[in-house]
Amino acid sequence: MKVLAFAASLRRASLNRRLVTLAAGIAKRQQAEVDLADFHAFDMPLYDGDLNDDEGLPEGALELKRRLDWADALLIATPEYNYSIAGTFKNAIDWTSRARPVPWRGKSVYLLSASPSPMGGIRGLWQTRIPLEGCGALVFPDMFALAFADKAFDEKGQLKDQMLAERLRKELTGFLRLADAVSHICGSETPSEERRRKAQITAALEEESEIQPAAG
C-alpha cells in the first residue's frame, strides 16, 4: 500500500503538519509505504485557463500529479479558512484536475484537520470533500478534526488525549484496509480484463468532464 501524505498548509509551525506527520507514522507502523510531502513542493500560480492552454500544467502541479500517480491512497490534513477549504489546496486541485486522466480519480482519501478552535476545522473538511469527490476521489466517510490542537500534542508529537489517539489509530486502520481493497480494483496492477474495463469507465467519465462548464 503506497500512501501520499501532506498538510495543505505553508506555515512552518503548521498544526496540520504535526497531525499528518503523526498519521503518517501510524500508517508506516501498519506496513504502508509513505511519501510524506511538504506542500511547498507543489507551489503553483493561481489557476489561469489561458496559462494552462499556452504552457500546460506548471511544475508544482506536475509534481503533485506525479506523486498522486504513484500513490494508492492519501492522508491529507488541511486547515479551515473562513469556514471552508484552504484556497491554496483548492487551487492545487483545480490545476491537477486539468490533467488527463484526472490523477485524483480512484484514489482513497482520509481527511484530517487541526485547529486551535473548538470545532477543529471540521467545517473546512466538509467543504474539502466536494471538489475531491467531484474529481473522482473516494473520500473515507470518517474524518478526524482535532480541536484545541495548539494544546493537543506532547513534546514527542503524540496526542495527549489517549482516547483521541486510539480513535485516530482505529480510523486509520479501517481506512488503510478499505484503501488496500479498493486499490486492487482502481489501481494500475490489475488483470488485463479489469484494466480494459477500467479504461472504458475512465473514458466515459472523461467525456462527461468535457461537457462541464469551462473554468471561468
In angstroms, the CA 51 to CA 19 distance is: 35
CB 6 within 8 A of CB 109: no
Angle at 151 between CA 149 and CA 153, to 5 degrees: 80
Closest CA to 128 of 62, 76, 186, 175: 76
Dihedral over alpha carbons 113, 17, 23, 189 (to 10 degrees): 100
- pLDDT on residue 195: 63
pTM for the full predicted model: 0.86
How does pLDDT run along the chain (216 residues), one tens digit per residue?
Answer: 999 999 999 999 999 999 999 999 999 999 999 999 999 999 999 999 999 999 999 999 999 999 999 999 999 999 999 999 999 999 999 999 999 999 999 999 999 999 999 999 999 999 999 999 999 999 999 999 999 999 999 999 999 999 999 999 999 999 999 999 999 888 755 455 656 666 676 676 666 555 555 555
- pLDDT on residue 207: 64
Angle at 99 between CA 124 and CA 176, to 5 degrees: 55
Domains of the chain: 2-167 (3.40.50.360)
Within 8 A by CB and 6+ apart from 164, the residues are: 146, 152
SS3 of residue 6 by DSSP: strand
Indicate the residue type of 174.
Answer: G
CB 117 within 8 A of CB 81: no
Based on the number of CB atoms within 10 Å of its own CB, is 145 exposed (0-12), middle (13-18) or buried (19 or more)?
buried
- pLDDT on residue 206: 65
